[in-house]
Amino acid sequence: MASHANTGKRKHGWDFARAWTRAQARITAAAGVDAVTESNVEVEPVARARRLAEISAPADMRLTLALTHGTSLEELDAGRHAVRVMADMAFRRLAVVGLKSGESVEHDVSDRLKDALGLWFGGDGDRVAPDEPARAERATED
């Protein structure tokens, strides 16, 4: 099975050129921008790939939502291998842009972590974390 571009008139196997054309149309419809034009703004190949993942994120979300909310169990079972590949690829692209399962999209440090770091680096010399008895003993000896 070749994965290279061709005339789009293959009689068997996977036609990359036709699939890429369909993918571009779906990504453009979901993102509202042309995928190729927007990704080519980046000069470096890795940055260009990351930008393409960002642009395709809305289409990937639509795919995962369609699978989970718009497909019956019978349909999922009938096409389970293709569905698994499609979902896995979508989740991997979403992870590239920072949208991972079970993680918050926010990148700020929680108050609890700030307090723990403050204690760890001695922000308040009188306060000692309760799970550090050795440190607590040293603080009372001084």
Instruction: Supply the pLDDT for residue 1.
Output: 43
pTM of the model: 0.60
pLDDT means per 10 residues, the chain with 142 residues, are 54 84 92 88 87 92 93 90 91 86 58 74 57 57 58
| Alpha-carbon distances, residue 112 vs 21, 60, 117, 121, 135 (angstroms) | 48, 33, 9, 14, 20
Enter the tokens of residue 28: 């453009």
Q: Where are the domains of the chain?
A: 16-96, 111-141
- How high is the pLDDT of residue 125? 47
Taking the C-alpha atoms of residue 132 and residue 94, their distance in angstroms, rounded to an integer, is 39
